[in-house]
Amino acid sequence: MNANNSPKRRIYVYYFLGILFSATLVTIDIFADKGLSKNLNETVNILLPQQTLNSNDFKFSSLEIFKTKSSLINENIRLKNEVIELRKLLIENEQLRDENINNNRVVKEVDTAIYNIQQTSIIFKTPSDEYIISGGENLNLKVKDLVIDQTGYVVAIVTGVRQDRSFISTIEDSNFSIQGIDKYGNEYLITSDGDYIFVNSLKLNTENSDIKYIYTDISYGHPGQFPIVDLSSTQINIANNKLQAEIPLNYKISFFSDLYLIQAK
């Protein structure tokens, strides 16, 4: 565009040297099996501000400035603040009630004697559409632990665990892939393209279209049996000892989603 702004060629050399330096870091990290990035992550953790979900620590009534005003104004302010706090409590109460209803639904679906259920939330969505949830090594999370929604269906799998957060692969991720079985012991591979969930059989013992649920299983490294998809209202194609089905994806994961982590006890 502007020839006068053209940098000297040596600036390109610095950029290529930067690429070489970064490539060296990648190589070291590959050979260290991500040991370098894990250690640095724990060492410089201070550079990432911690996410807090509750923001009700601030209290208007505790502000010192009001103490110097006349008592009438103080009383007025106190009452006003009380109304604000009561409103906040009302909202909090409604949120807790909703949360309680969701928790009860999950508890009905999952046997709490066998599994640990931890409520979690999305803390970051990266530019490459990866989701990071709260909870990691501090909750003894492992790769392949499951994330379910309030209805008890699997919506994500833990793919990477850090000190206090974990990476998950969600059902709307185009790289999502999970193995499952049905009540007849048939094995399936479930994948997603972001719009549809694809069910393909891997091993079909019984050719039966009355499958209903496909579950996760301990044999695939997951904590237990949790429903991934419900095929009861889906058209199933069985041909040449292969089963195929496509289910439209209606679930959308977001910052506001209620998510639960499942771990075996």
Partner 1 sequence: MIYLKNSFLVFLTFFLIFIEVTLNTFFSASDYVEFLPFLFYIFYVSIYFFSRSSVFVVILSGCYFDLFFTENFLGYTSIKLLIICIFIHFLYLRLSVGIASEFLLFYLAALLYKFEVILPSFDISLVYLFVICLPNYFLFKILTSTLRRDVLSAKI
- Tell me if 2 contacts partner 1 by CB under 8 A: yes
Q: Tell me: does residue 128 bind partner 1 (CB under 8 A).
A: yes
Among 255, 173, 265, 188, smallest CA distance to 227 is for 188
Considering the complex, what minimum distance in angstroms separates the CB of residue 122 from partner 1?
6
Q: Which is nearer to partner 1, 49 or 68 (CB)?
A: 49
- The amino acid present at 260, given as its one-letter code, is Y
Cα–Cα distance measured from residue 188 to residue 198, given in angstroms and rounded to the nearest whole number = 10
Q: Total number of residues binding partner 1 (CB under 8 A)? A: 54
Which member of 52, 54, 68, 126 binds partner 1 (CB under 8 A)?
A: 126
Q: Which is nearer to partner 1, 120 or 159 (CB)?
A: 159
Interior CA angle at 259 toward 119 and 178, to 5°?
120
CA 81 to CA 61: how far, in whole Å? Answer: 6
Which part of the chain contacts partner 1 (CB under 8 A), choosing from 34-42, 63-71, 96-104, 224-232?
34-42
- Look at residue 83 and give its three-state secondary structure: helix
253 binds partner 1 (CB under 8 A): yes
User: Which residue of 57, 219, 240, 256 would you call a contact of partner 1, by CB under 8 A?
Assistant: 256
Secondary structure string (H, E, C) spanning 97-162: HHHHHHHHHHHHHCCCCCEEEEEECEEEECCCCCEEEECCHHHCCCCCCEEECCCCCEEEEEEEEC
Q: Report the residue from 77, 132, 139, 236 that binds partner 1 according to the rule CB under 8 A.
A: 132
Binding residues for partner 1, rule: CB under 8 A, are 1-3, 5-7, 11-12, 14-19, 21-26, 28-30, 34, 36-37, 40-41, 44, 47-49, 122-130, 132, 159-160, 167, 174-175, 193-194, 252-256
